[in-house]
Amino acid sequence: MPVQIGLDDVSAGYANRAVLRQLTAHIPAFTTTAVVGPNGSGKSTLLGVMAGVIPVTAGTVEHRTGGRAAFVVQRSRAADVLPLTVRDAVAMGRWGRRGLWRRSSRRDREVVERSMERLGITSLAHRQLGELSGGQRQRALVAQGLAQEADLLLLDEPTTGLDAAAERLIADVLADVTAEGVTVVQATHDLTAARAAGHVLLLQEGRLWAEGAPDGTLTDRVVEEVWRLPRRAS
């Protein structure tokens, strides 16, 4: 399987605080990679490095293509300071393709409508983003990511705080976009979702603990070791 991103001996962090340490891994193209690990293990930092918004302090990051990644964060602060409707927020995903000041084309509008439809938020298009529930807002942010039509979609805990129906919807959408040729990387605390992915990166204290197919990576023994869970009686 071709590689979308290669990370070689990568270190990164914030303000003299190291988070990732000498991490070497690869992201296969055209599938979903789940990034898992305990809180503070470096999942969000790794996504930021892949997106190019967090610089590395050592090592290299190589992308298969030169296109921009679509990066869906866990919460957007824009809703707290700007009077954005859901449609406005999703349409922001087109800025990278058409520029900030150019008018939306018919194609832009079609992509925005389709992205909202896929996430089940068309009926919310005229609502203010700041008025939405956490789950509705998260679906709007995922729709914004889809609207970018990037070949790499990075998501930081996209289903945190969602109900089961919304989790299934986002999981189905991500499965659809990978089938369409998009590479998806999602940081998640949900081991059930991680076990349904095509590839797993397991982090522990900023280092890569294990990498590979979920059935060989997220065994009960490995999960217990990494999360330091008490062993079940045999």
Sign of CA dihedral 107, 112, 115, 120: negative
Rounded Cα gap, residues 92 and 86, in angstroms: 10
> Under CATH, which number does the domain 1-69+151-234 receive?
3.40.50.300
Backbone angles phi, psi at 39, to 5 degrees: -55, 135
Average pLDDT over residues 25-35: 96
Rounded Cα gap, residues 142 and 204, in angstroms: 27
Looking at residue 54, its pLDDT comes to 94
Looking at residue 228, its pLDDT comes to 79
Looking at residue 70, its pLDDT comes to 94
Which of 4-8, 65-69, 93-97, 173-177 shows the lowest mean pLDDT across its residues?
65-69
Which among 97, 218, 78 has a CA at the least distance from the CA of 137? 78
| Whether pLDDT at 233 is above 50 | no
Which among 182, 184, 188 has a CA at the least distance from the CA of 156? 188
| Whether pLDDT at 192 is above 50 | yes
Q: Which residue has the higher pLDDT, 98 or 11?
A: 11
Looking at residue 234, its pLDDT comes to 34
- pLDDT tens for 55-109 read 999 999 999 876 678 999 876 555 556 688 999 999 999 987 666 566 778 999 9
Q: How many CB atoms lie within 10 A of CB 35?
A: 28
User: Domain spans of the chain?
Assistant: 1-69+151-234, 83-149
- The answer for 48, left when phi > 0, alpha when psi is -120 to 50, beta otherwise, is alpha
